[in-house]
A and B are shown apart, each in its own frame.
Chain A
Amino acid sequence: METSRYLLSILVDNEPGVLSRIAGLFSGRGFNIDSLSVATTDDPDVSRITMATTCDAQIIEQIKKQLHKLINVITVNDLTEKKYVERQLALVKVHAKPEKRAEILRIVDIFRCRVVDVGHAHYTVEISGDSGKHQAFLSLLKPMGIIEIASTGAIALAREMGK
């Protein structure tokens, strides 16, 4: 079956062990996690997990049902089925040779990124956007020589009223 990327937004009880239950579910059943991001919500008893995974339609059904079956999972929202805004934050450290600096800054400008650290031979750039924007940005920076990257997982909210 054809695979695609799914983005799940999961509300869970903010309790110790919950993340391990979810991670264990994925490893135990051979599901795959592309990225994961977790933080408490406005309600301190509730955390939101945003998870990206790549699989086929039958597996995503199982993933959603299995997640829902965990006692500490309150809701599972498949954002892929609706309109949503997605953001991912990355810090990219790139070689900045004098002759390349102008070009790097031009790319940074086009992508509305920011240089957050400057050294004698490098820039560190902050980029925020969906995963497509990240990929495009990185492919342009790559020829300059990327030194290292730190990236968060995706976070996302549905474009609709209510939770």
Chain B
Amino acid sequence: MKLTGAQILVKMIKAQGVDTIFGYPGGATIDIHDEIVRHDDLRHILVRHEQGAVHAADAYSRAHKTTGVALVTSGPGATNTVTGIASAHADSIPMVVFCGQVPTGLIGNDAFQEVDIVGITRPCTKHNYLVKDPDKLAATIQEAFYIARSGRPGPVLVDLPKDILQAEINFQMPEETRLRSYKPNYTPNKKQIAKVVQMVKDARRPVIFAGGGVISSRASEQITRLAQMARIPVTTSLMGLGAFPGTDPLWLGMLGMHGTFRANMSIGNCDLIIAVGVRFDDRVTGNISKFAPHAAIIQIDIDPTSIHKNIPVQCPIVGDCKTTLENILALMEKQNPAQLTVERDLWLDQIDQWKQTTPLKYDQKADIIKPQFVVEKLWEITKGQAIITTEVGQNQMWAAQYYHFDLPNHFITSGGLGVMGFGLPAAIGAKAACPDKLVVDVAGDGSIQMNIQELMTAVENCLDVKIVILNNRFLGMVRQWQEFFYNRAYACTNIENAPDFVKLAEAYGASGFRCTDPACVEDTLRKGLDTPGTVIMDFVVEREESVYPMVPAGGALTEMLLV
């Protein structure tokens, strides 16, 4: 069967179970876009900036449909994807980005809208390709998806010269992808499993520390069983929120720079850490030499490079989180339960004391809205069931602290790279993946302006997202650092010259509500969430509120600044 390159691309994307792609056309991709619109079963969502397409594809993956796909043109279209790709790379999110490219004959000639996007994205993709041979197109596309979602997932970029897209090729469905140089190891070493069980028996003050790897390997059920079976309290990284129910008594709250007092104290005092799908980022460890000084560490990760990278580990296990936990659970079930929980009451009592003396807290007075209050009310009203995306800054931390995530894949944030402007396009991607879910972007007044153009995408495609702006008229997180560490010199962080977000919403055909009174927060949220279509809720909040606790960069986790 003869097909054009563009036809093969569309066929191969559909074969991967993808029903929605996010894109923006240009000269180099006209052939693809011309083909896509002929397929009713492949929806193309026209974003308003290529960065938006990539963040949307990222969130589409995370909301767990299938691998997200972005499609952009050559040159500036391709360079506009870099931030989104780097974010997905930092967060290990599977994604395939297709870029148009100038015809093969022009590559290297500084042609119009030519950039070496494969060179540019080499350090921020899991892998990337320039397709030069039309006969390899189909197999390369299949390989790209395979690499993106296997092993430790990540973004893959495929650069497609225009002549390849136009070539007529004898199409055959490629055989199953097999790569001699890439064989992720999913099954853990049996001996190490036995060692884990022994270490749990020996421990008196164990903690489970779960991360994004637990979410991506869909192992939250296993983490929960492990915690409950051996009565081990659980903390997570930002990326791991939702891996363990935020309302369970064993929940410690998030760990790290803005982690809870009891989570940070638990790590500082524990004698065993079971780290699952985490990479010990500096935001989570604080001063690495003072991290968990009394603990032995078990680390489970699919990626060998994550192990021993930042921290020495006594029991490393390379394997899929879910498979490994299943193995551990199977062996634990054969043990005497009392041996798995020695002196646990003492430990849990200690943790409870930390919780009682120093909980997360804020003081909502009558005159001005506290941002934390807005998030906590949002949690109550939505019964913790919404998918929450965030922008970056204080808004992101308050969303993490006060929306008590019970479910995995419900917290979608740019964790590793911290990209302002992530939340709105991510909300659109999540809504496209889960049309029946309520999707809320918890936003800052600064970040929301970074990809505000995507309001049009949401409205046009009836991807109803609700945006809650915690409007402090500051680049708040930077202001907070200036307050704490730069003598309150608020250089370049005052953004009170801002658009009227209500009118802005209306200008895009969305709805807007403003709230300035603490007494009206709940009403505004209810009204905003109940109003059909895309909605902005602009909460004018306390300007100089800070995120607590805070571990100053380079400090030990147990040395927190508290309210």
Interface residues of A (CB under 8 A from B): 12-13, 17, 20-21, 24, 28, 58, 61-62, 65-66, 68-69, 71-74
Q: Among A12, A17, A21, A62, which residue has its beta carbon within 8 angstroms of that of B309?
A: A62
Instruction: Give A163 Cβ to nearest chain B Cβ, in Å.
Output: 13
Interface contact A72-B181, CB-CB below 8 Å:
yes
Residues in A neighbouring B303, C-beta threshold 8 A: 69
A74 to B551, CA, bound (A): 42
A66 to B305, CA, bound (A): 6
Give the interface centre of B127, B130, B181, B309 by most chain A CB atoms within 10 Å: B181
Given A71-B126, A72-B181, A74-B181; A17-B305 close (CB under 8 Å): no
Interface contact A62-B305, CB-CB below 8 Å:
yes
Interface contact B181-A20, CB-CB below 8 Å:
no
A57 to B192, CA, bound (A): 23
Q: Count chain B residues whose beta carbon lies closer than 8 angstroms to a beta carbon of A.
A: 17
Can you identify 19 A-B contacts, CB atoms within 8 angstroms?
A12-B181, A13-B181, A17-B118, A17-B122, A20-B122, A21-B122, A24-B122, A28-B123, A62-B305, A62-B309, A65-B305, A66-B305, A69-B305, A71-B126, A71-B127, A71-B179, A71-B181, A71-B182, A74-B181
Residues in B neighbouring A72, C-beta threshold 8 A: 181
Give the interface centre of A58, A62, A69, A73 by most chain B CB atoms within 10 Å: A69
Interface residues of B (CB under 8 A from A): 118-119, 122-123, 126-127, 130, 147, 179-182, 303-305, 308-309
Given A21-B122, A24-B123, A69-B303; A61-B308 close (CB under 8 Å): yes
Residues in A neighbouring B181, C-beta threshold 8 A: 12-13, 71-74
Instruction: Give B223 Cβ to nearest chain A Cβ, in Å.
Output: 25
Instruction: Give A27 Cβ to nearest chain B Cβ, in Å.
Output: 9
Q: Closest 10 A-B residue pairs measured CB to CB?
A: A74-B181, A65-B305, A71-B127, A65-B304, A71-B182, A28-B123, A66-B305, A24-B122, A69-B305, A24-B123
Query: Which residue on chain B has the smallest CB distance to residue A13?
Result: B181
Q: A13-B181, A69-B303, A71-B179 are in contact. List 9 more A-B contacts (CB 8 A).
A: A12-B181, A17-B118, A20-B119, A21-B122, A24-B122, A68-B304, A69-B305, A71-B127, A74-B181
Residues in A neighbouring B147, C-beta threshold 8 A: 71
Residues in B neighbouring A20, C-beta threshold 8 A: 119, 122
Give the interface centre of A28, A65, A72, A74 by most chain B CB atoms within 10 Å: A65
Residues in A neighbouring B118, C-beta threshold 8 A: 17
A65 to B181, CA, bound (A): 13
Query: Which residue on chain B has the smallest CB distance to residue A67?
Result: B305
Query: Which residue on chain A has the smallest CB distance to residue B304?
Result: A65
A28 to B181, CA, bound (A): 22
A89 to B202, CA, bound (A): 57
Interface contact A58-B126, CB-CB below 8 Å:
no
Residues in B neighbouring A62, C-beta threshold 8 A: 305, 308-309
A72 to B303, CA, bound (A): 16
A148 to B147, CA, bound (A): 47
Query: Which residue on chain A has the smallest CB distance to residue B132?
Result: A16
A68 to B180, CA, bound (A): 12
A66 to B126, CA, bound (A): 12
A62 to B309, CA, bound (A): 7
A28 to B182, CA, bound (A): 22
A12 to B180, CA, bound (A): 10
Residues in B neighbouring A28, C-beta threshold 8 A: 123
Instruction: Give B56 Cβ to nearest chain A Cβ, in Å.
Output: 26
Residues in B neighbouring A17, C-beta threshold 8 A: 118, 122, 130
Q: Among B119, B127, B179, B308, which residue has its beta carbon within 8 angstroms of that of A58?
A: B308
A144 to B93, CA, bound (A): 61
Residues in A neighbouring B126, C-beta threshold 8 A: 71
Instruction: Give B362 Cβ to nearest chain A Cβ, in Å.
Output: 41
Residues in A neighbouring B304, C-beta threshold 8 A: 65, 68-69
Query: Which residue on chain A has the smallest CB distance to residue B307?
Result: A65
A12 to B179, CA, bound (A): 12
A62 to B126, CA, bound (A): 17
Residues in A neighbouring B127, C-beta threshold 8 A: 71
Residues in A neighbouring B180, C-beta threshold 8 A: 74
A12 to B130, CA, bound (A): 18
Instruction: Give B131 Cβ to nearest chain A Cβ, in Å.
Output: 12
A24 to B119, CA, bound (A): 10
Instruction: Give B63 Cβ to nearest chain A Cβ, in Å.
Output: 27
Residues in B neighbouring A13, C-beta threshold 8 A: 181
Query: Which residue on chain B has the smallest CB distance to residue A58?
Result: B308
A145 to B123, CA, bound (A): 44
Instruction: Give A20 Cβ to nearest chain B Cβ, in Å.
Output: 7
A14 to B132, CA, bound (A): 15
Query: Which residue on chain B has the smallest CB distance to residue A73?
Result: B181
Instruction: Give B334 Cβ to nearest chain A Cβ, in Å.
Output: 33
Query: Which residue on chain A has the smallest CB distance to residue B184?
Result: A69
Query: Which residue on chain B has the smallest CB distance to residue A74?
Result: B181
Instruction: Give A49 Cβ to nearest chain B Cβ, in Å.
Output: 13
Instruction: Give A42 Cβ to nearest chain B Cβ, in Å.
Output: 16
A12 to B182, CA, bound (A): 11
Residues in B neighbouring A71, C-beta threshold 8 A: 126-127, 147, 179, 181-182
Residues in A neighbouring B309, C-beta threshold 8 A: 62
Residues in A neighbouring B305, C-beta threshold 8 A: 62, 65-66, 69
Instruction: Give B537 Cβ to nearest chain A Cβ, in Å.
Output: 41
